């Protein structure tokens, strides 16, 4: 029994949410009911959101290209039929191309084409009959309509492009944080800005989307990881209209929209995107220590276990899942020990991380230069290929100019890299504690970016990244003749310390201040060495009588 092979196409991504696919499928099923001599083939070819005017459906990977390949390979046999809603679903290309490249190869193979809108059957015999002229007229009409539509759209884009370049407002599709006039929506813009800041600090796109959905803002209710991804790379965030993006005449026109983030923050997001592209995908953990404590044997994360609803201990995740078959490190570290070591060693790393998101003048310049260097490298790669293939003097000159500019940029970057930035001290400590209170996951993500870690080895040795001397966990301190834990014994530089089994809560004692006395007072409070203290006071020098 001959087979019927459906071909379904629509040209615009907007039609994906409409009824185009369903309608075409229903027409196929109606035809099948009226033609019981055919069986519906398992082969179905689709081009969803691909232009028939530009021939996208017959390029590599296109559904119609696969259909033609199946005809050539004999998978679609003589006597079979190809079902299309109308002849323009097969394409809207020029008549000669449509006939020569798409229609005739099918008909000459003895395979019929049925247009379901008018129930017309085109066969191999149709080639030498007046029916082929009717088919050509339909093809010509479809191409002419698409040509006129394309010309109107191109002209409209040209007018809007000129308006944008002249600084006039341009009405077009805009992202969620903009009105059609290109102005910021006051209720949405702060969330978009926060999304960029979270991403730069190391929080993953899915976690960002979850947080935004929880905001209660109706327009963010369906936000997802891919949505956040699209925002992060959209230059409308810094005011640009990306005219004809992805095409040869593409152009980025500045100052069209009100920016939602600074250029520096946008560039930071692009640099982070580039950095994480070469690393294994890592989920944003729910506890700040997960991902910071690592196994010294296999390199995997130590996972957190709870007891009575509270954090209790950490152990190698691989050993926990696979035992000795996965990792030999069976050391379990009390949660209190990890928190204690973290509290004494993380401040320098927090300062280093904060410098990445709170840019100094030098940092901003380095960021601009790094972004320019990356763009120049991409241009040079492209020019090298073209110059080698075409051997045009102008291309070689352009390549030389771009290479010289990259050398200048790299030289300036080298100088800036040797210029230290001031930081640390009270500001870093306060930033660490504020984030620990308000967003410990952001703090953890920042520390992961600068590669802070506490590594646990099989002999209870703990090594902090960048530290010369290790820590040694010696076990719990028990009450005599009892299993009651009084604390946890830890040794550093030959001195044993007993850590309390109770982890003190991080209190919001501090606030930004330049007063050195208040800074010392805060540091003492933070170390839990000052049991009580009077209200803050302003330091004043009182001369002796």
Rg, Å, the chain Cα set: 33
pLDDT of residue 101: 82
Q: Which residues contact 29 (CB under 8 A, 6 or more apart)?
A: none
Return the bridge partners of 478, or none. Answer: 485
- pLDDT category at 10 given cuts 50, 70, 90 is confident
pLDDT of residue 528: 43
- pLDDT category at 532 given cuts 50, 70, 90 is very low
Segments making up each domain of the chain, as ranges: 3-146, 169-276, 361-417
In 3D space, the residue among 188, 184, 226, 219 whose CA is nearest the CA of residue 205 turns out to be 226
Superfamily of the domain at 3-146: Resolvase, N-terminal catalytic domain (3.40.50.1390)
**Average pLDDT estimate for 24-43:** 90
In angstroms, the CA 113 to CA 20 distance is 20
Give the CATH class of 169-276.
alpha beta
Q: Which of 20-34, 149-163, 192-206, 332-346 has the lowest mean pLDDT?
A: 149-163
Give the model confidence (pLDDT) of 355-389 as tens digits.
Answer: 666 665 566 667 777 877 887 888 888 778 877 77
Angle at 279 between CA 273 and CA 285, to 5 degrees: 85
Is the pLDDT at 421 greater than 70? The verdict is no
Helix (H) or strand (E) holding 349: helix 347-357
CA-based torsion, 292, 295, 299, 304: positive or negative: negative
Give the model confidence (pLDDT) of 138-196 as tens digits.
Answer: 877 766 665 666 556 555 555 555 555 555 555 567 889 998 777 899 999 999 998 99
Give the model confidence (pLDDT) of 195-209 as tens digits.
Answer: 998 898 888 899 899
pLDDT of residue 22: 82
Q: Is the pTM of this model over 0.85?
A: no
CB-based contact 301:319 (threshold 8 Å): no
Q: Which two tokens stand for residue 318?
A: 């691989």
Angle at 364 between CA 363 and CA 369, to 5 degrees: 95
């Amino acid at each position: 029994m001959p087979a019927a092979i459906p071909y379904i196409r629509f040209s615009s991504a907007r039609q994906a949410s409409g009824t185009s696919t369903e309608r075409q499928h229903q027409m196929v099923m109606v035809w099948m009911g009226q033609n019981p001599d055919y069986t519906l083939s398992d082969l179905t070819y689709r081009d969803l959101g691909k232009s028939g005017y530009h021939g996208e459906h017959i390029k590599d990977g296109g559904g119609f290209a696969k259909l033609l390949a199946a005809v050539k390979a004999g998978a679609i046999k003589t006597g079979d039929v190809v079902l299309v809603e109308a002849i323009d679903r097969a394409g809207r290309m020029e008549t000669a191309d449509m006939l020569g490249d798409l229609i005739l190869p099918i008909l000459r193979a003895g395979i019929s084409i049925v247009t379901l809108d008018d129930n017309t059957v085109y066969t191999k015999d149709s080639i030498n009959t007046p029916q082929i002229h009717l088919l050509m007229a339909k093809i010509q009409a479809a191409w002419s309509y698409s040509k006129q539509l394309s010309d109107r759209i191109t002209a409209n884009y040209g007018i809007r492009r000129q308006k944008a370049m002249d600084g006039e407002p341009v009405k077009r599709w805009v992202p969620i944080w903009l009105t059609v006039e290109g102005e910021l929506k006051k209720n949405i813009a702060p969330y978009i800005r926060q999304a960029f800041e979270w991403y730069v600090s190391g929080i993953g796109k899915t976690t960002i989307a979850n947080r935004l959905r929880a905001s209660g803002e109706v327009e963010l209710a369906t936000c997802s990881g891919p949505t956040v991804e699209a925002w992060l790379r959209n230059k409308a965030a810094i005011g640009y209209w990306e005219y004809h993006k992805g095409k040869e005449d593409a152009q980025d026109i500045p100052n069209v929209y009100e920016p939602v983030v600074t250029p520096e923050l946008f560039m930071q997001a692009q640099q982070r995107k580039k950095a994480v592209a070469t690393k294994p995908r890592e989920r944003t953990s729910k506890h700040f220590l997960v991902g910071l404590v690592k196994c010294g044997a296999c390199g995997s994360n130590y996972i957190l276990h709870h007891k009575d609803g509270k954090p209790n201990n950490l152990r190698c995740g691989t050993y926990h899942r696979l035992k000795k078959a996965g990792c030999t490190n069976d050391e379990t570290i009390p949660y209190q020990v990890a928190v204690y070591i973290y509290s004494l060693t993380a401040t320098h790393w927090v300062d280093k991380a904060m410098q990445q998101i709170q840019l100094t003048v030098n940092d901003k310049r380095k960021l601009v230069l790094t972004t320019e260097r990356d763009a120049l490298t991409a241009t040079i790669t492209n020019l090298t290929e073209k110059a080698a293939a075409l051997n045009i003097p102008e291309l070689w000159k352009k390549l030389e100019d771009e290479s010289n500019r990259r050398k200048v940029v790299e030289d300036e970057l080298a100088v800036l890299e040797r210029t230290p930035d001031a930081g640390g001290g009270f500001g870093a400590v306060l930033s660490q504690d504020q984030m620990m209170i308000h967003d410990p996951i952001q703090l953890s993500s920042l520390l992961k970016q600068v590669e802070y870690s506490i590594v646990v080895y099989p002999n209870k040795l703990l090594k902090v990244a960048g530290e010369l001397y290790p820590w040694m966990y010696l076990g719990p301190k028990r009450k005599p003749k009892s299993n009651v834990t009084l604390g946890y014994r830890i040794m550093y530089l030959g001195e044993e310390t007993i850590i309390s089994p109770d982890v003190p809560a991080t209190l919001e004692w501090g606030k930004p201040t330049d007063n050195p006395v208040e800074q010392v007072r805060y540091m003492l409070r933070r170390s839990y060495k000052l049991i009580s203290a009077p209200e803050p006071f302003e330091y004043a020098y009182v001369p002796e009588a």
